[in-house]
Amino acid sequence: MNHPQPIVFQAAAQPETLAVVGHARPHESAALHVTGSAVYTDDMPELAGTLHAALVLAEVAHGSVRRIDVDALRAQPGVVDVMTGADVPGHNECSPVHAHDEPIFADKVQFYGQPLSAVVATSHDLARRAARRAKVEYDKQPALLSVYDALAADSHLLPTVEVARGNAQAAIAAAPHRLAGEVYLGGQEHFYLEGQVSYAVPGEGDSMHVYCSTQHPTEMQHLVADALGWQAHQVQITCRRMGGGFGGKESQSQHTACVAALLAWKTGKPVRMRLDRDDDMSITGKRHDFDIRYEVGFADDGLILGIKFELASRCGYSADLSGPVNDRAIFHCDNAYYLDAVAIRSLRMKTHTVSNTAFRGFGGPQGTFAIESVIEDIARRLGADPLAVRRRNLYGDSAGDVRTTTPYGMKVEDNVLAPLIDQLAADSDYAARRDRIAAFNAANPIVKRGISLTPVKFGISFTATLFNQAGALVHVYNDGTVLVSQGGTEMGQGLYTKVRQIVAEVFGLPFDAVRMSATDTTRVPNTSATAASSGTDLNGMAARAAALEIRERLAQFAAGLHGVDAASVTFADGRVHVAGTDQPFAALVMEAYRSRIKLWEAGFYKTPKIHYDPTTMQGRPFFYFAYGAAVSEVAIDTLTGQTRVLRVDVLHDVGRSINPALDIGQIEGGFVQGMGWLTTEELWWRDDGKLMTHAPSTYKIPAASDCPEVFNVKLFDNANIEDSIHKSKAVGEPPLMLPFSVFFAIRAAAAAAIPADAPLRLDAPATPEAILRAIAAGRGTPMEDAT
């Protein structure tokens, strides 16, 4: 058996004092995390008189609430008060897109587990017990639960969107080879370690301070203010850190924030609201599941000549972020491949299930999965190596190449996939291993192996152009230390660490001379969500802009003291060098303070070049693309469907890494999370609409034992061609698509268990049951005879 290999990053040797940016550093809160000293929202000491809230949840999937016995709720032990939609002083609404379709407390039930009312009690346990004893009467109605139910009922949540280039139908009809297929791609629970939680503290003069585990403090500020009937300046939202988010706290933190604030307003007491895991998983949205159908025409060498997609997603009961999620799925249906004649139809279906929402990748993974499935089917039809088909269809890599424009009209100007794939294929010994696997499979009737190399091209920016902006506030204190406030939130990804590195680099200071304050709407207003992999790109640039302004002031001041040009002043190693002399940074700062030089600054950044027309789905929605590829080798047991991931090799493009340790950690984590989505994490609803996979006992995220036995991760040597922060590239979301290599390696292993000309459909997640079903169908045998 191969033993796991440690991941080693090798950087050029350089003195620690030369630079802060580009060095592998631990997460700024790593020591706090492992010692249990990091303070999360639910760890905050309770103020005197703090009360605790819990939700009364619907126990039908569709219907109307005839009556809630509020008096019986109030009579429960420890209960202080009860709130329903009728008690909300402002708008009983918490839709993140202002669609007015997401009530805080519902009277018309749209999914099993929908909040109907809230109780506030003297303890968390008493509040939960009281809420569970609520007596609710319903008028039930039929429910649509699956995307297939919605398709059959023609139940659309949002208008259908279509994007086309050329005449796809004609190109398919004229092609030497044609295929049509369908595959289902399941959803995913976020399963952040810290659940949804808010702590609302009423203030003087109609004001509210909410400590909230959220990726989007400004949105929570507006939703809380709207619920209270107040204005934004009356509400303060603070978030120091989250124990994971993954998109699940972009809009889904609205219920805890709004309900805690409403009950704090009603009682005049601080109110803490924390969802337990079962409630959290039942109430909050998931990754959108998709039914994917396609028609494709292709040449003898696998070149795609024409292709049509129909992407039907289960959006749930309300709009939430389903519009932009499905738009991004359209934008990533090409992944790494030039599609000359293409037609994409996106169906956004309404069901009586929780409203699906943002999740790492934000629709991009679903679109990427669609085209990668087609590539695999083409290779199977031709009897070719899927990697050869992938290479044949890659985007061009030169300015004069016509194969460089996406279906939505954006030029691919920095395509490095061909050399990246070549390097990975060579480093991983892909070709020789593929031959060895074929020989292994020929000799082993029960255990089959598979290998796959899949690429990723992922667009970086919010597709809604207005969100591509950020602000920051940098304070230099007169002792030479620095405090930074910015609009991004820390959820373990290392944003605070990278921003500290960026600001320390500007001033030539050691890392520990810079600290971060909690993200707070009273310090930096009008923030965008920390999402779309843009946290460092936006907030790092804003913080750097503020720091550069202060440094320029200090340089001008120092130059004036020595009668030289400010351009000759340098800041390095904690000292300021000017006119052949140097002094500690802190000494110059104190002199500047005494001379009344401004030592703080606000910074602002907006992403350049991007433009996008949502009505035509054309433009440049992304500032740049991030690239990567992975090779995975797996083994499956054809008797049980059990899978083992034997080896993974990753080569990923992060531009010039600001912090290689954090970037490799994001790649590893994204890979394993995506692998879980595609292999073990299956969501299952009972016929009455109740989510049964609502706890770790029934919902299986990857464990340490599921990680690849050999896991090699390298960073591709490539500077961003765009003027990003230190020429780096975003790394949050793109790695989540790298484990498509695991899924398609499983598919290749399953293919080895059936005749070469047999049909093969493997839905995701590739659970043991799904693998056995695929093999049974390929052998033409009933499921019980699959072995």
Active site residues: 733
- Give just the sign of the alpha carbon dihedral 85, 89, 94, 100: positive
**Amino acid occupying residue 156:** H
Structure tokens at 776: 């049974």
Nearest partner of 155 among 336, 353, 298, 293, judged by Cα: 353
Q: Are 252 and 245 in contact (CB under 8 A)?
A: no
Distance, CA of 413 to CA of 721 (rounded, Å):
9
Q: Where are the alpha helices (DSSP H) in 428-481?
A: 430-443
**45 Rama class: left (phi>0) / alpha (psi -120 to 50) / beta:** beta
Is residue 521 within 8 Å of 236, Cβ to Cβ?
yes
Closest CA to 264 of 207, 205, 221, 213: 207
Distant-in-sequence, close-in-space partners of 637: CB < 8 Å, separation ≥ 6: 446, 447, 643
Alpha carbon distance 699, 62 (integer Å)? 24
Residue 277, both tokens: 């895991």
Beta bridge partners of 310: 293, 345
Task: For residue 295, list its beta bridge partners.
Answer: 180, 308
CA distance 252 to 694: 16
Q: What CA–CA distances, in Å, run from 61 to 100, 130, 698, 704, 737?
A: 20, 22, 20, 36, 33
Distance CA 294, CA 183 (A): 9
Element containing residue 287 per DSSP (H, E): none
**CB contact at 8 A, 520 and 347:** no
Cα separation values, 403 from 298, 399, 626, Å: 16, 10, 18
Question: What distance in Å separates the CA atoms of residue 406 and residue 561, rounded to the nearest whole number?
Answer: 55
Residue 277: its H or E element = helix 277-283
Cross-sheet strand order for the sheet of 514-516: 514-516, 482-486, 469-476, 600-606
As a dihedral over the C-alpha atoms of residue 721, residue 723, residue 728, residue 729, rounded to 10 degrees, the angle is: -70
Alpha helices in 563-682 (DSSP H): 585-594, 660-679
List the alpha helices (DSSP H) in 444-572: 495-507, 535, 541-562
Backbone angle region of 188, left / alpha / beta, with phi > 0 → left and psi within -120 to 50 → alpha: beta
CB contact set of 122 (below 8 Å; sequence gap of 6+): 51, 52, 78, 80
Helix (H) / strand (E) containing 265? helix 254-267
Cis preceding-peptide flag for 6 (omega within 30 of 0) = no
Q: Closest Cα to residue 12, out of 27, 25, 1, 23?
A: 23
Count of H-run helices and E-run strands, the chain: 20, 29
Structure-token pair, residue 435 = 């031959």
